[in-house]
Chain A
């Protein structure tokens, strides 16, 4: 007797359909899984056998063969436990076939028959929506189905519930016993007017930002407050980012509430950790920061190869990885915030501590992150250790909510006047958007000459100036806007 259950396996951030076919036939008792299962999936045999018995079903004492079709696709993970168990139950007539028709089944089994979540449930929910099918799986799958929308889910806590009357027991809602998401507030930052301003401009225009300052100047503290001043995620963005979180096995609930992701990988992070990779292929930090902020603290300490790997995806907004198992495309549209010390000892220009570095060592240090990556930093801002009196003072900085209002207004102005943020503009479109008057163009020419600006350098200054103008809802970029943009340049190293 045979039976088929629909499920899926993760391929990057997508769930690919897989049929679990069970064949129960006479012969010596055995239990075989074929169809390119990985090690975790092979172990599924023992879990299924015990779970079925614990749930009060019978495991057939004859030859049981399970095939995973398409047989050529490599399958990973433990989400096949429940589909295999149901296929065996259906093939042995312990479960009526109608129960699983038109249903995508996913879930891991405990030895006691409990149904457990696996990574990437959101991807399964989206797949079910795509196929026009319903879902059957752990309770977490019902949450994912809610998030995906337009797909129904029957949650199971225990395997034995599958033969209970459908709808006999109302599915228990998981308690949302979590305090509301707290994003750090800009009001906690004392002083730092320049850095605050740079953060606001970066948020308003989607610009990448490099912070240069001595240790303890509050670079990380400032960066952590970036997601708060960005507008909340749109519903599409929520799903895109939550999907990456889900397949990475991370909690996607804050993302689904609209909070932009903030990822700060340690500088020992490998290329695969940053851009994605491994086996099975998982998204990297860059994709986890999709629609949010990727913060690279102490950027000169990162492996140069890892930093160079950032460049392509930063232009394209996606990462494409080609591996033996196929081609994987992950989303990766993020705002990069990087920080570094001004010199190897860290104290060049500090108000209190003298610096012990010489010119050439500083120049070498600055050169470590490489011109091409510098070129993608629209804003460079100097951050200094605040005066102790400013920290102790009672008057706090401007709160996140006020800054965010300005950022949202500037973004709306940008979208209304030209349909995109200025960080995405270049060439003629950028010049058109800026509408420089005579004085401003002359100023720009002068700046290019005095500061030895390259073509890219001019583009960066113009983009920043355009965003500064957006913050004032100004139609044209004026000299003032341009002057401020020029002050967010990299310091000279010669």
Chain B
């Protein structure tokens, strides 16, 4: 295992990933920090920077499961979904690759500093931009193209339209990478993009079985490994069922259940403690399938 070693992998080198050649403009040089042997086909997990509790939970569930089954998780270290995916891979003891829109030695976004340090130590941070290049507006769509190129399959967890995540899906289609999408509420702006991808032909990931089948089809998983475990918790109370359909404000939940707000507050506070429900940044409560905390 390497630690923070810098490598420049050129087109034609043995380590240069063949799958990148499917891109219209494959990068000439890949600037890597970490273990360059991780430049193998993997599962790219991308999604909205403005992720909902639903998005972060799906990320943890799906990226975590794939990672436990030996699939490298590729993402962009961006705030929100990307970081959730990297963290899920780290927590499940898998391997993960961050593709940056700046030099591989630059900490961007600043909130990812600690995460990137970890990745440079034991995993891989890669960029086509020379050392020290600062991030710029146009570098991110280019970065998205490399994510799409490196991966054997692209999993879109949440995306609004139009968005950077959506552009990654476009690159994936051009490169012939299979696109998988997590369906979401038709009322949630963060799921509009994924629902649209599904309408346009992306594979639906409605449970772990779906993911296993798709990963096997892309050659990331041998069929023998498909021992799928079910969710830790299904919604059992009325409150959970209501919140599972979409995040809600406390007062709306109380109105839906037809109980006083205080009673709904008690129920939700208890579910929060059980880890079944979480309050998002916008103050809404969401059902998070009892998979545990953040």
Contacts and interface: CB of A to CB of B under 8 A. Distances in A.
A484 B249 contact: no
A483 B266 contact: yes
A212 interface: yes
B217 interface: no
Q: Which of B250, B252, B282, B283 is packed against the most chain A CB atoms within 10 Å?
A: B283
A349 B284 contact: yes
A96 interface: no
A483 B283 contact: no
Interface stretch (B65-73, B89-97, B228-236, B269-277): B269-277
B111 to A, nearest CB: 6
Contact of A348 (B260, B268, B282, B294): B282
Interface residues of B, number: 33
B79 A194 contact: no
Contacts of A363: 281
B278 interface: yes
Contacts of B268: 487
A150 interface: no
Contacts of B254: 193
B262 interface: yes
B161 to A, nearest CB: 13
Contacts of A355: 282
A450 B79 contact: no
A384 B273 CA distance: 24
Contacts of A480: 266
Interface string B231-257: 000000000000000000111101000
Contacts of A384: 249, 251, 283
Contacts of A491: 279-283
A349 B270 contact: no
Given A194-B250, A358-B79, A484-B262, A382 B270 contact: no
B219 interface: no
A443 interface: yes
Nearest to A444: B273
A480 B250 CA distance: 17
B275 A450 contact: yes
A93 interface: no
B189 interface: yes
B291 interface: no
Nearest to B260: A193
Nearest to A191: B251
Interface in A255-306: none
Contacts of B251: 191, 193-194, 384
A194 B281 contact: no
Given A349-B249, A349-B283, A384-B251, A360 B111 contact: yes
A446 B271 CA distance: 12
B283 A342 contact: yes
Contacts of B260: 193
Given A362-B281, A443-B273, A494 B49 contact: no
B26 interface: no
Contacts of A357: 50
A450 B282 CA distance: 19
Given A194-B251, A351-B249, A450-B275, A358 B49 contact: yes
A382 B262 CA distance: 14
B79 A360 contact: yes
Interface string B161-188: 0000000000000000000000000000
Contacts, number: 88
Nearest to B261: A193
A494 B261 contact: no
Contacts of A486: 269, 272-273
B27 interface: no
A486 B250 CA distance: 13
A234 interface: no
A493 B250 contact: no
A484 B264 CA distance: 10
A272 to B, nearest CB: 35
Contacts of B249: 349, 351, 382, 384
Given A359-B50, A360-B109, A450 B293 contact: yes
A3 to B, nearest CB: 71
B270 A197 contact: no
B280 A359 contact: no
A216 interface: no
B292 to A, nearest CB: 10
A348 B278 CA distance: 16
Given A194-B265, A360-B79, A492 B49 contact: no
B294 A494 contact: yes
B261 A450 contact: no
B75 interface: no
B105 to A, nearest CB: 22
Contacts of B275: 450
Interface string B203-238: 000000000000000000000000000000000000
Nearest to B292: A450
Contact of B273 (A197, A358, A446): A446
B162 to A, nearest CB: 14
B51 interface: yes
Interface string A453-491: 000000000000000000000000000100110110001
Given A360-B79, A492-B281, 9 more contacts: A193-B254, A194-B251, A194-B261, A342-B281, A359-B80, A443-B273, A450-B273, A491-B282, A491-B283
24 contacts: A193-B251, A193-B262, A194-B265, A197-B261, A342-B283, A349-B283, A351-B249, A357-B50, A358-B50, A358-B79, A359-B51, A360-B109, A360-B111, A362-B281, A382-B283, A384-B283, A443-B273, A483-B266, A483-B269, A487-B268, A491-B281, A492-B279, A492-B280, A492-B281
Interface of A: 191, 193-194, 197, 212, 342-343, 348-349, 351, 354-355, 357-360, 362-363, 382, 384, 443, 446-447, 450-451, 480, 483-484, 486-487, 491-494
